[in-house]
Structure 1
Amino acid sequence: MLFSHHNNSHNKVLVVDDEPTSLLIMAESLSDLGEIVCCDNGAQAIEKAASFQPDVILLDIEMPDMNGFEVCQKLKNNPKTAPSHVIFVTSHNEQIFEYQSFASGGIDLIHKPVDLNICRLRVQNQLKLKHQEAQILAAKNDISTLVTSCLSIFHIGQIQKKTYSVMMKTAIGLKKIAIKCWVVSLKIYYLKSYMRLFIVV
């Protein structure tokens, strides 16, 4: 399971940006990395993320109504969307934006104007991490199932061992009883023979 081949078609990426041009350019540059879904506002991003459950979300920080930080916090508070890796996109270079990006649950930060080659590499890295997480979880489940099966087999073996032990003890007990019965029958036989002799005399 840990060494299974990963198919890009299984990747899911959600791109969120209120600028149509940026949205189109980023979506086009990532199109060969998996299934790409786009939206242009925070409320729609939350709704899409819950139904689409993307591996990676490219999330613009500066959006009307609900900014990227607020969106990310809502995503992280929902068990269905919390596992998604959020990469923030911003035109700001101030350190406070970088701090807020990680503090709100983001895993990376890309500055505008976006270098598409760097953007692709960062998304690819996060997709690989998500795939590895899935493999580790699957392996953990496989190991758990294997351990449970081994314990079950061991338990059955112990029961069979105990059953065999009881059967052996029962057989030995029956053998002893049979020997005693045989000895008693011999004694009765000889006693009867002796009594016949006594009566004849």
Structure 2
Amino acid sequence: MNSIHRATVLIVDDTPDNLMLLSNLLKDKYATKVATNGATALQIVASSKVDLILLDIMMPEMDGIETCRRLKANPAGALIPVLFLTAKSLQEDEALGRSVGAVDFLRKPVNPDLLFARVAAHLK
């Protein structure tokens, strides 16, 4: 990608350390935006261009599953690939995430190489 149009990745996580880590990992290749909860993520998607969303599942108030469900129900967010970031490792969690529209799952702690590969693959 050239510097004129860098894809924008929205990182949604309620843990500031995770937001900082992911932003720092991605900032050289992508424009990043961050949200600490689902409601803020929905506002960002409604008001600006987002190319991909990294979404934590376990968050207070509105969890990642509900956030994804609402994103996919909205024309502004319906086509944005959502990758769940989660410490959860059960097949049921992954099945639930895919049922609400997630395209991929990354386990925490995040492997940077895997993160880059998955983000790049879903932005193509």
TM-score range, shorter chain: over 0.9
**What is the aligned partner in structure 2 of residue 7 from structure 1?**
2
Deviation at 1:93, TM superposition (A): 0.7
- 1:94 lines up with 2:90 in the alignment: yes
* Alpha-carbon distance, 1:72 to partner: 0.5
Aligned mates of 2:87, 2:78 — CA distance in 1: 25
Residue in structure 2 matching 1:31, options 4, 10, 27: 27
Residue type matched to 1:7 in 2?
N
The alignment's TM-score, normalised by the length of structure 1, stands at 0.59
Runs of 5+ in structure 2 lacking a partner?
A: none
Larger Rg: 1
Structure 2 residue identity aligned to 1:52:
S
Where 1:32 maps in the other structure, the secondary structure is coil
| Structure with more contact order per residue of length (Cα contacts < 8 Å, sep ≥ 6) | 2
Contact 2:56-2:64 within 8 A present in 1 as well = yes
Runs of 4+ in 1 over 3 A off after TM superposition: none
Instruction: Indicate the structure with greater strand content.
Output: 2
Of 54, 58, 67, which residue of structure 1 is paired with 2:50? 54
1:108 is aligned to: 104
CA distance in 1, matches of 2:32, 2:100: 24
Query: C-alpha distance in 1, partners of 2:58/2:40?
Result: 15
Alpha-carbon offset, residue 44 of structure 1: 0.3
Q: Which runs of 5+ in 1 are unaligned?
A: 1-5, 129-201
The TM-score normalised by the length of structure 2 is: 0.94
Distance in 1 between residues matched to 2:24 and 2:11, nearest whole Å: 11
Number of equivalences: 123
Deviations along 1:36-89, one digit per CA (max 9) or x if unpaired, are 000100100100111123110000000000000100010011111111100001
Residue 71 of structure 1 is aligned with which of 61, 64, 67?
A: 67
